[in-house]
Structure formats: C-alpha cells, structure tokens
Chains A and B, each alone.
Chain A
Amino acid sequence: MTQADRFTGHDLSCIRAERLVFQGVGFDIASGGALKLTGPNGSGKSSLLRLMAGLLRPASGTLAWNGGDPADEPGEFRAALRYLGHQDAVKPALTVAENLDFWASLAGARGDGTAALSAFGLAALAPLPARFLSAGQRRRLALARLVAAPGRLWLLDEPTVGLDRASVAALEAAVARHRDAGGLVVVATHTEIALPGAAELGMERFAPARPAAA
C-alpha cells in the first residue's frame, strides 16, 4: 500500500431521540492502526460507528479522512469504507456466493469471492441458499464481504457476535492482514478480540453528566 491514510475525529457528540449519547469524543488512527471501542450497552459504540460511516451526522465536532471532511467527498470516502453493522444484510433467497458477489460488485470489486469465502470457512457452502445458514455462518458471510471487496477503512460493529472460537481466529487473522497492508480498523466490541497495539476508547468516559435526580 503506497498511500498512508489517516482518519481523525475531534470533539464529536451525538444526539439520538433528543438525548445526548456522548460528547467530546476524539480519535486519531493512521494506516495500520486499530481502534477498539468499549463501554457498556447504550454508551454509544454503535452510534459512533454510524457517525464515522456517515450514516449519522454529528451534533457537533468534525471528522477528517486524510485531512478532508468525508461529507465533502463522499464518493472517495465510501470507496475506501467497509462497514459491518449489527445486521448481516444477507438475503435468504440468494445463494451464499450470490450474496457475496452482489456486495462485492456494488463496492466496485471484480473477480470471484472464493478466496473471501475460504477465509471464513464458507467455500463449501457457496452454492447453498443463504436461508440454510446458521446465525454464526451468516455473520461469517457478512465478514467475508470485507475481504471480497478490499477497502482501506473497516468499521466493525460487534463483529464476533455468534462466532465460534475458530471463526474469531479467522477474523483476527483477516484484520491482521488488513492492517499489514496499511488498512485502518475500528472495532466496537465487548468480547475479547486480539488487536495488537490497538488504541482503546472507553465510551463510558464520554457520557454526558446527568442532572442529579430530584
């Protein structure tokens, strides 16, 4: 990877349903770097990821992708971005391979997804309709998307939900390869996942001060 990327956020705050979820969040990740979001349920890990992806607008603060606001150059930012949400976005009526190919071609990737499926142990299931997959297998299919269409910035929301030990190891390996190639990764999780040298952002620190109960 020739290009060094940098993704930063400064003084971000987020309002959901007229409630301040967090305030004053800042981060700075460079190529090869990782950021781990931790914190109790409802502390705004998912909201921060959606905000980073550009699905949510910050109530205040700024994001910068290589120095520019992602909202100004959405095409360039989205070409680099791979987002994994809570939901797997797997269509039960399509086969495993068709599901993967659709997302890969939407992201502008060419070629077949066999390697991506193998990385998560799904190669044998490729011709099977996705309705027969278990929850963990669906999650692995969603993860295979990240590998099928390479992007430089991965935003992963609870990627290990439903995964067995071997699949978590496969995910850790995929993240390590991604970072070795100069990629950036942000992971929201409350399970153990090996991210060597990752910065940690504890979301509970940014909760707004609650007015004392009367």
Chain B
Amino acid sequence: MLAGLAAILKRDVRLALRQSADNGMAVGFFVLTVILFPLGVGPEPAVLARIAPGILWVTALLASMLSLERLFAADYEDGSLDLMALAPLPLPLLVLTKCLAHWLLTGLPMVVLAPLLGVLLSLDPAGYGTLVLAMALGTPVLALVGAIGAALTLGARRGGVLLSLLVLPLYIPVLIFGVAAIDAAIYGTGARPHLLLLGGALLAALALCPLASAAALRQALE
C-alpha cells in the first residue's frame, strides 16, 4: 500500500515539475500580490509593518485557493481518477497523498518565501519565527480544506468561482489565528495559544478532510 501511495506522490511531484504552470503560478501570485501592497499603500514602514501579517496571510489564502482548483480536475478529465478510485488503496489516503504533494509544491515554497516578503513589508523582527511556524501549521490546513471544495466542484462549470465561495469562509479560522499569532509575537503577549489552535486545526483537518474529500470524489465519479 505504501508503494502505491509513494507512486502517487512521485507522479504528482514529477508532473508538477514538468508542467510547472499550475503550482508555479500560485507561488508567483503570492509573491507578486504581496509586492503590490507597498506600491499601493505607500512605502511608510510603520503602516506596512502594522498590516504585514494580514497581507501575508490573506495573500497565502488566495494563492492556495487558486491552485486548488486543479487538484483533482486534470485527473478527473482524463479518466485517471476513475482508476485511482478503483485501485486497491483507501481513497482517503490517496486524497491525503495528493494534498501532501500539492502542499510540497505550493505551501512549502510560500512558507519559505514568507519571511523574505516580510522584510519587504518591514515586518517587526520579533515576528519572523512565529510567521514561519504559523505558516507551516496553517498552509497544510488550507490544502486539506481546499481539497474538499476541489472535490465538490469537480465537473461544475466555472468551478473556480464556486470553489472560492465554498472554501474561503472555511479558511477564516486559519486567517484569524495565523495573524493573531504573529501579532502576539510582535507585541509580546505570547503566540503559543494561537499556534496551538492552529496545530489543533491541522490535526482535525488531517483526520476529517480526507474522508470528506473521498466521499465527494465518489459522488463526482457516479
């Protein structure tokens, strides 16, 4: 079974690296949109530093959502998803593996790039460690929750718009605690409770989201 899951991970990563458009676009969107803020809001460091955590998180949310639309769509269109659903592997584990591949290709680059973009936004030095930690805990939640939306909107016309309407409200807790953690680290009120909540959200998402996505996929294949 592990060999099968490893094969899916290897295939998804390989496909993404060979046709980098989808995932590369999400990361590019993240970087470009963050860069737009100093241009739009003005270069005043105090203003930028105040809104930096919010900018980074909101942009990460949007970037993650953009790329999720294709999570299952390509495999659905060419019949691969039929065969994957018929493979002797539990479908929820297969979904989990696809989410992991997706996170490695979009979430992880965003975690790595976030501190660099933080410099651009004059983020307070006290916030960097928490920023990375919060992003590392929060971005997998975005991928897992988004997978439910991606599975539900399979086959729908204009699925991308529908996906945002479905998924963005569910991203709000990650946004709130992600931003609150960084603010708490900067103002010295303790980021721990916020990070723990993000960790809890990650554990809940790991347990529940693959099951929900798998059920939605079965529905889509009927």
Assembled-state Cα–Cα distance A31/B3 (Å): 29
Interface residues of B in 1-41 (CB under 8 A from A): 1, 3-4, 6-8, 10-11, 14-15, 18-19
- Which residues on the A side are within 8 Å of B162 (C-beta)? none
- Chain B interface helix/strand/loop/mixed: helix
- Which residues on the B side are within 8 Å of A101 (C-beta)? 7
Assembled-state Cα–Cα distance A34/B4 (Å): 29
On whether A55 and B87 interact (CB within 8 A), knowing A87-B78, A88-B78, A94-B14, the answer reads no
| Cross-chain contact B88 with A78 (CB below 8 angstroms) | yes
A130 to chain B, nearest CB (A): 11
Partner of A108, one of B4, B11, B80: B4
- Which residues on the B side are within 8 Å of A88 (C-beta)? 78-79
A144 to chain B, nearest CB (A): 14
Assembled-state Cα–Cα distance A93/B14 (Å): 9
| Cross-chain contact A93 with B87 (CB below 8 angstroms) | no
A10 to chain B, nearest CB (A): 21
Assembled-state Cα–Cα distance A57/B3 (Å): 29
On whether A90 and B88 interact (CB within 8 A), knowing A106-B4, A106-B7, the answer reads no
Q: Which residue of B lies closest to A79 (CB)?
A: B88
Q: Which residue of A lies closest to B84 (CB)?
A: A106
Interface residues of B in 70-93 (CB under 8 A from A): 78-80, 82-89
| Cross-chain contact B86 with A55 (CB below 8 angstroms) | yes
A29 to chain B, nearest CB (A): 18
Assembled-state Cα–Cα distance A55/B222 (Å): 6
B interface footprint on A92-110 (CB within 8 Å = 1, 0 otherwise):
0110001001110111100
Q: Within 8 Å of chain A (Cβ to Cβ): is B221?
A: yes
On whether A93 and B88 interact (CB within 8 A), knowing A55-B221, A85-B82, A102-B7, the answer reads no
Interface residues of A, count at CB 8 A: 27
- Which residues on the A side are within 8 Å of B222 (C-beta)? 55-57
Q: Which residue of A lies closest to B7 (CB)?
A: A105
Q: Which residue of A lies closest to B83 (CB)?
A: A89
Interface residues of A in 61-100 (CB under 8 A from B): 75, 78-79, 81, 83, 85-91, 93-94, 98
On whether A54 and B86 interact (CB within 8 A), knowing A86-B79, A105-B3, A105-B4, the answer reads yes
Q: Which residue of B lies closest to A101 (CB)?
A: B7
Assembled-state Cα–Cα distance A6/B121 (Å): 67
- Which residues on the A side are within 8 Å of B18 (C-beta)? 93-94
Which of B8, B83, B87, B222 gathers the greatest number of chain A CB atoms within 10 Å? B83
| Cross-chain contact B11 with A85 (CB below 8 angstroms) | no
Interface residues of A in 30-68 (CB under 8 A from B): 53-57
A111 to chain B, nearest CB (A): 12
- Which residues on the B side are within 8 Å of A93 (C-beta)? 14-15, 18-19
- Which residues on the A side are within 8 Å of B87 (C-beta)? 78, 106-107
A/B interface sample: 13 pairs, CB < 8 A: A54-B86, A56-B222, A87-B78, A91-B80, A93-B14, A98-B14, A102-B7, A102-B8, A105-B4, A106-B83, A106-B89, A107-B4, A108-B1
11 further A-B pairs in the complex, CB-CB below 8 A; given A78-B86, A107-B87: A53-B86, A54-B86, A83-B86, A88-B79, A89-B79, A89-B82, A91-B15, A94-B18, A106-B89, A107-B88, A108-B3
Chain B residues within CB distance 8 Å of chain A: 1, 3-4, 6-8, 10-11, 14-15, 18-19, 78-80, 82-89, 221-222
Which 5 interchain pairs have the tightest Cβ spacing?
A: A87-B79, A105-B7, A79-B88, A89-B79, A89-B80
